[in-house]
């Protein structure tokens, strides 16, 4: 799987987790930094209650997408 080419890695990660562990990944937003008009969000991804990846983004959605991409890379390598 070429994870760098995936535009929306959230769905493939969910499908893999459902198949392997019987439940979807869990996302936790752990930090907001930066100034109020330009925040940076940090998201962590847990698979089967184990943290497998994290990422930062300018929105919660972007942080979640980047974390999912990192998680896909970690669990498919």
List, for residues 13-50, the tens digit of each pLDDT value.
Answer: 999 999 999 999 999 999 999 999 999 999 999 999 99
Measured in whole angstroms, the distance separating CA 9 from the mean position of its chain's CA atoms is 8
Range of the domain at 67: 3-76
> The CATH number of the domain where 52 resides is what?
3.30.160.20
- Quote the CA–CA distance of 38 and 24 in Å, as a whole number: 30
> pLDDT-derived band of residue 5, with 50, 70 and 90 as boundaries?
low
Domain count, the chain: 1
The rounded distance, in Å, linking the Cα atoms of 56 and 40 is 6
pLDDT band of 1, cuts 50, 70, 90? very low
As a whole number, mean pLDDT of residues 45-70 equals 96
């Amino acid at each position: 799987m070429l994870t760098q080419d995936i535009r929306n890695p959230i769905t493939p990660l969910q499908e893999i987790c459902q198949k392997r562990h019987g439940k979807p990944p869990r996302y936790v937003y752990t930090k907001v930094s930066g100034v109020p008009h330009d925040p940076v969000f940090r998201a962590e991804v847990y698979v089967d209650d184990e943290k497998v990846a994290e990422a930062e983004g300018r929105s919660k959605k972007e942080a979640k997408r980047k974390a999912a991409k990192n998680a896909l890379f970690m669990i498919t390598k």
